[in-house]
Structure 1
């Protein structure tokens, strides 16, 4: 019997301190060679164990085998120069030193498939795997070859489709594409961003999701949020087209945000991963707080289409905080699940 209100997380969990520097994005690995391979697998198993102990229904790898949700995938592609970098503005918020696209981008080998097979071998629960979305990949690079955000996005979409099909074959139940850029470049999203995303999921039989949030709980993102006013209506620009798209699940940010929940009505009919856990602070939600968020969202989403989730990844948090937030998510969902049955 299918679980009502199945819980999941949007992607990352903190890495153990023996693998990389805690509470730090893009942290260098502390291990090398074979020790690093083994260490990543150990961290993946630990991340899975913590999700299962907390009662998370749809589990993932916690992104333990990658330094960053976008660049780790790009590192495995041809046509990208990581040595001679450029500084670019990421999503209009902060400057970062990024690799350069210098030739046609291709994927010589699968990137995450072996890790996904390993995760599949470790659990009988449904598994979800996150990939960067085409538009967010474009926004995390300097393009010296295509000189067109749209052309580069379409090339990435084809590559992502190759990877996604292999992940599906490896036993992944839900493939999620992370597209925080969708909350910034609204015209591009509607003109070609959603179409590129649909190209990335073309031919897949497993469920597909797109995660659109307001970012990790880092200073650049929290400062940006302060400029958005009393209502965050960015979703309003893109939800109508997403509702008509062939993406199965839309993942969005709700808890402790200023998103008017009635905007979710624009997605009526879609499955919704509702962010009921704030990743931008270290305060652990109570189960009742999670339950209240879910109850409010149920005004706009049918219970059989609601997936309680986190607002974004929890990589920058302390491990004990992330662990407690996982438990709060599970316990809060259980309260509302009981009310719905």
Structure 2
């Protein structure tokens, strides 16, 4: 019989139960015992869903209170030593302090997990970090699963991926300097799992999909020889890209099985299957763990059948990667019409697809289910709603001229400075301001028809007026309207574009308690009418200071959506860019002279292998430039990027040719800015001077110190002052105090420059 399993399951709950419990705990509304009880309820529900769907083992260890990387550190005792916690006595309050920071501690740095929109907490590697063991939460979960009668497979992030994804802070020359200690820590953990009678351990090593240098490659063999010596059978899991270049290495490792992502990289199968070890399990990831479309069961079965003929019971079936990246259950959904719903599969439905493939291989095919899946896919590709002749005609007319501003930056910026007359180190924010309970309630009431449209408009205008007034009182130089009317930076725009669909309960975890509801791009994208112009025009009418128009860029609109798979992603990005170009033009015509086109997902879309970068970067840069280039020289285009490593793609970021870029840098203490200086980034830059995701309020001296560091990299005339990201999740009191301190820091820097100039003269 074929074994069916998954690499991981969404942990937030179909109704975001974990999110609401986390936030209630942070507000001291529930106890740690209450929170633990809610987590246990979710785990048991998810295990039962796996068992009911016919999975031969449930996956244990994929649950995390905030982030799986942080939970791995807590399990091993390798938490940041600067926080001076006792790893074995870690409380959930300690755990959340590492993730979020508090009034006295900085939060751990956060960045994207490979090329996903999931944010992980970056391990901090210092010479004194230990892997001597930490919390027993995993073993508590194993006991829970067994008590419920489930056969369990434990999942762990592998030691090499854990080290590779961390950042050296002090006392080390290379992350692999910690490998002996890490291996010893994993050996102790695996021995405990073996003693506990665990049947299988899935160890995730997704760094095998990256371009690894010789030292990292060489570390695999001795590491897994040491780990396999006294451990349960190991399933080494790879995903997100092709690992065929490591075929010989993978064949040589003393592991019982290997998982391959055959959705992202089906081409790797032939290479890896050659000389496949006679006793080795192959876990075939044939159901897409990254997108929401129903599987092509016929194609998957065609892939699996020869594998089954060759391997027999040594073939396992799974999703391509953890189902963390898709919503939980389509049966919860009520916002989609029947046609769209018939095209989709969320995590629970993907379990059913795996079961159907298992049944077909084992001689008990569900003919009706296969037929229904086949019909749904055919109906989707033939549906007239996915094609728009206006969009197709416009695509045919796209030329290189659409990507070009009228003049180069050094000429444009002089016109912009003359127009705006901003002070040195101009202050601004990234766009959003706190979304209060009143704002959310009004938006929800309007959506369900309980608040009349004109009443809703009046309430949102009142919020905008308040935000503008408070920014002027704070002394900010460039203002924003606060985005009170927006639920999400992608969802808001997608709701007003043709070709997008939206769920009611399609939530996916982005980080911690932050959940997003990615739109579904099912057809050609078209903007039927202006989206933001009325709000921005109203906001600008309230002030004489410049008011930024705020848009989400084409690459981010693409990356943070579930994208149609019947045409190249580059084509869909270009469709979005053309829609946004129209919006940018309308904003300019309405008198908005600064327009910010946010691209926080630009780096996220980068392929994992450098050989694939140029093709992606070419169309991503082209899409941004098409969206932005249709304005006059004196109109200033801003963009924003955050929570990613940008230094390796700086030439392409420069090629986007935004007049001003704002970036997140405070969690790294401005380290991310070093590359911009070394590259001599040519345009204006606003490095974030405080972390908006932490509840602590930075002091003036702290931000002034960061700005002094920035001055060492960026010329004074091109340095802007701003937070790391939008302020949507913060409260008003902390926002006001933090921005007050930020403005004072900019003023202090201006005084320093004036004093230096006076002294020099």
Give the match's secondary structure for 1:211.
Answer: strand
Q: Deviations over 1:191-225 (max 9, x none)?
A: 321221011112212111220011xxxxxxxxxxx
- Alignment counterpart, residue 622 of structure 2, candidates 195, 204, 211: 195
Give the match's secondary structure for 1:273.
Answer: strand
Kept after mapping to 2: 8 A contact 1:268/1:300: no
Q: Deviations over 1:94-129 (max 9, x none)?
A: 985433223221111000001111011100001112
How far, CA to CA, are the matches of 1:88 and 1:153 in structure 2?
A: 22
**5+ residue gaps, structure 1:** 22-26, 215-231
Alignment of 1:313 onto 2:733: no
How far, CA to CA, are the matches of 2:576 and 2:479 in structure 1?
A: 26
Kept after mapping to 2: 8 A contact 1:120/1:170: no
Give the drift of 1:146: 4.9
How far, CA to CA, are the matches of 2:516 and 2:464 in structure 1?
A: 28
Alignment of 1:211 onto 2:675: no
What is the aligned partner in structure 1 of residue 692 from structure 2? 279
Structure in which a larger fraction of residues adopt strand: 1
What is the aligned partner in structure 2 of residue 217 from structure 1? none
How far, CA to CA, are the matches of 1:191 and 1:254 in structure 2?
A: 26
How far, CA to CA, are the matches of 1:35 and 1:332 in structure 2?
A: 40
How far, CA to CA, are the matches of 2:499 and 2:605 in structure 1?
A: 25
Closer/same/farther in 2, CA of residues 237 and 288 from structure 1, 3 Å limit: same
Kept after mapping to 1: 8 A contact 2:665/2:724: yes
Alignment of 1:238 onto 2:649: yes
Kept after mapping to 2: 8 A contact 1:212/1:251: yes
How far, CA to CA, are the matches of 1:82 and 1:197 in structure 2?
A: 24
Alignment of 1:166 onto 2:593: no
How far, CA to CA, are the matches of 1:321 and 1:89 in structure 2?
A: 25
Give the drift of 1:134: 0.8
Kept after mapping to 2: 8 A contact 1:41/1:65: no
- Alignment counterpart, residue 664 of structure 2, candidates 243, 253, 256: 253
How far, CA to CA, are the matches of 1:118 and 1:293 in structure 2?
A: 35
Alignment of 1:324 onto 2:737: yes
Kept after mapping to 1: 8 A contact 2:443/2:456: no
Alignment of 1:268 onto 2:698: no
Kept after mapping to 2: 8 A contact 1:44/1:64: yes
Closer/same/farther in 2, CA of residues 45 and 267 from structure 1, 3 Å limit: farther
How far, CA to CA, are the matches of 1:260 and 1:156 in structure 2?
A: 29
**5+ residue gaps, structure 2:** 1-420, 607-612, 755-761
Closer/same/farther in 2, CA of residues 8 and 189 from structure 1, 3 Å limit: farther
Kept after mapping to 1: 8 A contact 2:498/2:525: yes
Range with bigger deviation, 204-213 or 106-115 = 204-213
Give the match's secondary structure for 1:279.
Answer: coil
Give the drift of 1:88: 6.9
Closer/same/farther in 2, CA of residues 308 and 292 from structure 1, 3 Å limit: same
Closer/same/farther in 2, CA of residues 36 and 314 from structure 1, 3 Å limit: same
Kept after mapping to 1: 8 A contact 2:553/2:598: yes
Q: Deviations over 1:32-51 (max 9, x none)?
A: 22221111111111111111
How far, CA to CA, are the matches of 1:83 and 1:235 in structure 2?
A: 32
Give the drift of 1:262: 1.4
Structure in which a larger fraction of residues adopt helix: 2
Closer/same/farther in 2, CA of residues 28 and 292 from structure 1, 3 Å limit: same
Closer/same/farther in 2, CA of residues 70 and 302 from structure 1, 3 Å limit: same
Kept after mapping to 1: 8 A contact 2:499/2:523: yes
How far, CA to CA, are the matches of 1:209 and 1:148 in structure 2?
A: 28
Kept after mapping to 1: 8 A contact 2:559/2:605: no
How far, CA to CA, are the matches of 1:110 and 1:152 in structure 2?
A: 20
Give the match's secondary structure for 1:185.
Answer: coil
Range with bigger deviation, 186-195 or 283-292 = 186-195
Kept after mapping to 1: 8 A contact 2:703/2:745: yes
Give the match's secondary structure for 1:269.
Answer: coil
How far, CA to CA, are the matches of 2:489 and 2:435 in structure 1?
A: 13
Give the drift of 1:275: 0.7
- Alignment counterpart, residue 106 of structure 1, candidates 492, 505, 526: 526
TM-score (norm: length of structure 1): 0.86
Kept after mapping to 2: 8 A contact 1:99/1:141: yes
How far, CA to CA, are the matches of 2:493 and 2:684 in structure 1?
A: 27
What is the aligned partner in structure 1 of residue 714 from structure 2? 301
Closer/same/farther in 2, CA of residues 339 and 69 from structure 1, 3 Å limit: same
Greater C-alpha Rg: 2
- Which structure has more RCO (C-alpha within 8 Å, separation ≥ 6)? 1
Q: How many residues align?
A: 317
Give the match's secondary structure for 1:49.
Answer: helix
